Amino acid sequence: MKQYMQGFAPIEAELEAKSIVSGALITKLNTAIPHEVYLDNLNITMESVQISGVGTSRNVIAQYEHNLLKLGIFRDVFIDIIKIETEGGSAYEFTANCMLAGGASNEAKQ
């Protein structure tokens, strides 16, 4: 069984090398999320990351934007859309457009 599993190691390594998105990138993005922000969608390309989610206030969304910039993997982070999700104004939908810094494919694999 051990020999059988070792046979998959080269295949796994090749797939990881060809992968655009690594676990490390997802982990970095995850560390930037404040407690009152909930993500709905994540779209990653070679040049950018687009994140859609909901925050409990405009301030917490601004904090998320700040946290994303502090990661050092984006040259620009822009909150494109903020709209009130509920009538009472207790939740705000947003979309963050993040342009990767440096070599785009390099950053996506971090």
- pLDDT of 46 reads 85
pLDDT above 50 (res 10): yes
Mean per-residue pLDDT for 1-24?
Answer: 60
CA nearest 92: which of 30, 35, 43, 37?
Answer: 37
Task: Spell out the domain ranges in the chain.
Answer: 21-108
**Tens of pLDDT, residues 57-107:** 999 999 999 999 999 999 999 998 788 877 776 889 999 999 998 754 444
Q: Which residues lie below 8 Å from residue 60, measured CB to CB, with a gap of 6+?
A: 34, 36, 37
Q: Does the domain formed by 21-108 have CATH 3.40.1190.20?
A: no
Containing 37, the helix (H) or strand (E) segment is: strand 37-44
- pLDDT of 84 reads 83
**From the CA atom positions of the chain, what is the Rg in Å?**
17
Mean per-residue pLDDT for 18-43?
Answer: 85
